Chain A
Amino acid sequence: MVTVTIDGREIRVPERTTILDAAHEAGIEIPTLCYLKDVNEIGACRVCVVEVEGIDQLVASCNNCALDGMVVHTDTPKVRQARKVNTELLLSQHDSECTSCVRSGNCSLQSFANDLGLVGLPYEKHLPDIEWDQNFPLIRNNDKCINCLRCIQICDRVQDCHVWDLANRAAHTSVNVIGGLPIDSVACALCGQCITHCPTGALRERDDTDRVWEALEDPDITTIVQIAPSVRTAWGDHWGMSNKEATVERLVACLRPMGFDYIINTDFSADLTIMEEGTELLERLKEGPHDHPMFTSCCPGWVRYVKSHYPELVDDVSTSKSPQQMFGAIIKSYYAEKLGVDPHKIFSISIMPCVAKKSECALPTMNDACGDPDVDVVLTVREVDRMIRSEHIDPRRLEDEPFDEPLGEGTGAGIIFGATGGVMEAALRTASFLVTGSAPETDVFKDVRGLDGWKEATYNLAGTPLRVAVVSGLANAGRLCEAILAGSVSYDFVEVMACPGGCVGGGGQPIHDGQERQRLLGDVLYGLDRVAKYRNSYENPAITTVYAEYLGEPLSKRAEELLHTNQHAWIMPGEE
C-alpha cells in the first residue's frame, strides 16, 4: 500500500494504482478523454493531467502510478489552463456542429467542453475533410475524430482485426483505415466496438432510418419488424428507464403507433436456430470424430472474421443462418402465406444490437424466401431510439403491449442468445432433449455462463462426452482458432460471439462511454430466462407449429433451402 495526498485528502491505495484511480477512491473525479481502462491507457489527450509537488511539468493521471508520499493537486491554475488549452486545441480540429450529430448529448468531448465553461475558441478551425464510403455500414467522420486512438486499440487488442491505424504523421496525424486503404478492402468484422468506444461522433453506424420511414409511409407495403433478444436490455437507456420499465413489450408499444404493421420476436427464430443448429451438430457427431469443432454461425461479425482470418475453418462453421436471417426467410414465406400478403410487398426490418447485421442482410445469399432480401433493413438500437425520439414518443408514459402472434413467442433459451454462452446453453438444452428424450435438469449447463473470454466445459450427452468452448471478443476467438489449428485444444462444439460478453455488449447498443455493461445486461437476460414460461427451444409452441405446418423437421429440404446458407458463397477481404 502507498499513501498519497490528493487535493489535501490523504488516502492509502494498493501499489500500482494510477493517480486517476487513487483520486477516484478519494472521491475526486479527474476528467479523461482518451482513457479506456485496460485498453487505452496512453496519456494522449492530456486533459487528465495533474500537478505533482516537486515536478514542474504536469503528469498524466491515467497512466502514472500514485507513489508513496506523492502530493497531488488536481485543480490548480496550471492544471486548469492545460485542460482548457488542450480542449481548445482538440476543438480547433473538431466539427462542433453538435446539433446534427448522433452523439449530441452523449459525447464525452461535448460534455467535457461544456463543463469547462468554454465561451468561444481562440484558434482557427481546421478540419481534415477526409472522404468516406457512405454506403458502408460503418461510417468514419474524421472531422469529429480527436485522435484518442481508442478505436485502434479496441480493434487491435480486443478484436484482432487491425482495421485502424495512424494513417499520417506529425501535424497531419489522423486515424484511418490501415495504409489508407478503402474500408471495404480490409478485414473489418463490423463488430462496431470502435463505435461504442468512440468518445465522440467520429464513428457511427450507417443511418438507415429514412428507408424505414419511407416503408412506414407507403400504404402498399406491409412492414414487419423483429426485435432481437439483447435489445430489451438497453433500448430505454436514453429515457433513463430501468430494465424493469424498459421491457421489450414497452418497446412494442412504442413501435405500434409509429406504424409498424407486425411486431415479432427474434427469440422465436433463436429457438428455430437451435432446432436447426442443434440437429446439425448431432448429425455431425454421428459422422464420427472431426479434426475441428463445429462453430456457431449466428454472429455475423464472427463469420466475417473467420472467413478473412481463418478461411481453412469456414467448412466447420454451421450452415445454419443467424436468427435474424432465419426469421427473414420465414417472414417472406410461411408468414406471408399465413397473412395472405405478397412477400414482395413486405418490408422486413430487424432491430439489432449489432452493426454486422447490416452487412449480413445485404449478402447476395440472403434472399431465399422470394428472391428479395429476406431482411430489408437492420436498425441498431441507437437508430430505433432516434426514431422513437423523433416521433416524440415518451416510452415512460406507455403501457406494455404484446408481440404479434403467432411468431411472437420465444423461450428463455432464445432470450439468452444475447449473452456469451447463451447459444451454447440453449443448444445443449435442446440437444440433450433430442438425444435423451427427456427435459434437461434446470440450469445444468450454466458453466458456460460468465464473462471469461474463453470458457470450456465437457458434458455427458447420453454417455458421450461433448467437449464445448465458448469465446467472446475476436482476439479470444483468434487465440482459440490458433490453438485448434495447432492441435493444442480439441472441442466438439464452439460458440463464438464477436463482441465481448456477447450481443448485450454489441456494437449497435446504446453507448455509455467508459462503462462495460455486459455483465449487468447479461444478467437481465438470464433473469428473464429464469422466469420464462418455456425455457427450452423445443418447447416453443410456435416452433412446433412451424415445423408441423411448413418445415417438416429440422434439416428437411425446405428447412435447408430457407434456413441454411453456403458460407463460401461470398468472399471477405483476405479470404482468397
Chain B
Amino acid sequence: MNRALKRISIAVLVMFLALMINANYLQAVEAPSLANGLYNGRTLAEQAQVQRGSIVTSDGVTIAESKQLSDGSYQREYPDGAAFAPVTGFEGVNGDGGMEQAEDSVLSGSGSQLAFRNFIDMVTNKPQKGATVQLTINAKAQEAAYNGLAGQLSGTGRVGGVVALDPSTGAILAMASYPSYNPNQLATADGTEFNKLDKQLIDESPSPLTDNATQTTLPPGSTFKLITSAAYFTQNPADTPNTEVYSPDVLTLPQSTDVLHNDADEACGSAGANGDVPIIDAFAMSCDTTFANIGLDLGGTTLNSMAEKFGFNYTPSITGVTTTSSNYTVSSSPPLTAYTAIGQWDDTASPLQEAMDAAAIANNGVLMKPYLVQQVTASDLSVVQSTQPAEMSQPVSSSVANDVKQMMIAVVQQPDGTGYAFNQGVEGVEIAGKTGTAQTIVGSGVDDAAFVAFAPATHPTIAVGVMLQGAGYGAAAAAPIAVNVIKAYLASAGQG
C-alpha cells in the first residue's frame, strides 16, 4: 500500500502546486486587468474616494471635473456635456471612450508617472489626487461648432461633424459631433441604470455615441477637388492657377454613353459650350466637368497616391480619439475615375480628414499629426507630460500648396466663387475655402453638404472641415458653421 500512498502524495503535491501557480497568476499577473472589470465595485468605490483630475480646454474652460458630495465621495460632472461629449467621453460604473478612458491612469492618479508624487502625498498624509489633462480644444470654437451642427440638424435624424485644426501644429481646436448625448447621465455609479441608458443610446438610430467628427465618413463632393488640384499642379509644375483648362458644358465620358455635366447643366464661366477657362475660375465656381476631365487625364492611381499622402486609406492614431479611415478606391473604369476626381462615387471622408486636407494646404504643404492632449499637470502643478507637434507627411510642395491656396481664396473672395457670401467685406476676415455638395442618391434632392476652410488666408491659424449628412448645398449648410467656428476661434485667440 505504501507505493500507492506515495503516488497519492505526488498527486496531492501536483494539486497544491496547481492551486499555487493559479493563485500567482490571478493575483500577480491578471490583477491589473481584473481591476477594470465590469461591475468591479471595489475599484469604483476606491475611485469615488479619490478626486479625479479635471479635463480643461486650452483656453482654460473646465469640461470635466469631480465634485465632492456631502458624503465625501466624488461625482464626475460635465458642465457643457453634449457639446464636449465626443472629446471627454464619460466615467462612471463603466467608462467609455474619449479622454476619460485614454488618460484614465493620470486622471485617476494611479499612473506610473505619478507614482513618486503619490508616495510623497502618502508620507505627508495628503489625499491622492488625479492629474489635470489640458486639451488643445478651444471652448469657443467647440461650442460654435456644436451649436452650428445642432442648428442645422436638430430633429432631422441626420448626422454631422466638425473638426478644426491648428494647421501649423496639428492641435485639434474643435471636434464636434451631432447628435450627441449627455455624459452626466452616463457617469452614474448605478450599473443597472447605466445599462438601461447605454442600451437606449446604442439602439437609437443614428446612435449619439458615435463620434461623427472622426468615425463617420461621407462623400466629400467638390471639396475633393483640393486633392485633384494638388495632384494636377504636382504633375504639371509649370502650370499656374491662371492656366486655362478644358471646361465643357457636358463632358462625354470614355467607354460609356454616360455624360457628366455641371450642377445645373450650366456653362463653366466664360468657357462657353466647349471652351477653356483659367483653372482658378473653374475651382471657384466648382465646375465638375473641368475637374472630372483633369481626373481622367491624371488617372486613378495618381489621384490615389495624392489622396493617401493627405491621409486617405489610413486610420489616424490620436490619443483619446477613435478614428475611421477615409477612403479613396482606384477604379478600373475611366468614367468612375472621373467621378472620384470630384469626390463622388465611392470616395468617403471624415470631417477630420477634410480638416487635414485644408490644414496641409494652409501649412505650405506640410501635414501635421493631429493631437488632442496638450499637457498633463499633476496636482502640484508640475507638468507630467506634454505633446510636441510632429510632422505627419508632406503631401505637396509649398509652391503647389500656394497654388491651391490662391484658388481656395478665390472661392470665397471672388464674386463668382461659390463661397462669396462669406467674403472679407462681410465677415471681416479673409477666409479661404472650398464648398462641396455630394449627390448621394441621384435625383433624391438630398445632398450631403461639406465645406473646408482655413483663415486668415495669408497666415492661417485655423483649418476647418465640416460635413453634414443630407443638409443640401455645402455653401448654404456647411459653410456658415465653418465661418462661425473660425470667427469664434479668432475672437477668442485675440486675432479677430
* A-B interaction: no
Task: Please report A residues at the B interface, Cβ cutoff 8 Å.
Answer: none
Task: Please report B residues at the A interface, Cβ cutoff 8 Å.
Answer: none
